[in-house]
Structure 1
């Protein structure tokens, strides 16, 4: 009975030790595509704007101004992700139009 418990403990130990390696094995590094000059200029402009916002004293701003800055930062983040090619963005309206076109054509 004792040897059976030791055997199960060893099997469990080896299986748990192998899990992180199996998880890392499936990840393939993606090649980053080079940015055009216009895209790099826009990213540099966004970085300068973010640094400018970081240097601001936000405690003196009104609630509306803070909301506007937060909205601007979110938009810049989404734009930067789109430039880097980290996703496909389709609005809900675009999806509905695509579905309607597919229904009408098929």
Structure 2
């Protein structure tokens, strides 16, 4: 199924940690942002199901990418600790 030029993952695609590049990770993040911007009311039930499946697949692939993600709050706390130490 194709939505906005992107096809939903069939589940057979596997992304290993050694083959994913930063460009692929960036493309996945852009796709997640596009999905967040979608209006779910405009999609049929099967399209929503396909989008949910795609999001789960992307998040699973990103989790296996072993990227370090820090929230804004964590970054602020780290900066404050560095200021106090120095």
TM-score range, shorter chain: 0.5 to 0.7
Q: CA deviation at 1:72?
A: 0.2
Q: Which structure has the highest helix share of the two? A: 1
Cα RMSD (Å) of the superposition? Answer: 2.2
**1:77-102 CA distance string (max 9 Å, x none):** 111111117xxxxxxxxxxxxxxxxx
Give unpaired runs (5+ residues) of structure 2. Answer: 1-17, 68-86
Structure 1 alignment gaps of length 5 or more: 1-35, 86-106
State the TM-score, normalized to the length of structure 1.
0.43
Aligned length: 50
Correspondence for 2:56: 74
Runs (4+) of structure 1 moved beyond 6 Å? none
> In proportion to residue count, which structure has more strand?
2
Higher relative contact order (CA 8 A, sep 6+): 2
What is the TM-score normalised by the length of structure 2?
0.52
Task: State the distance in 1 between where 2:44 and 2:38 align.
Answer: 13
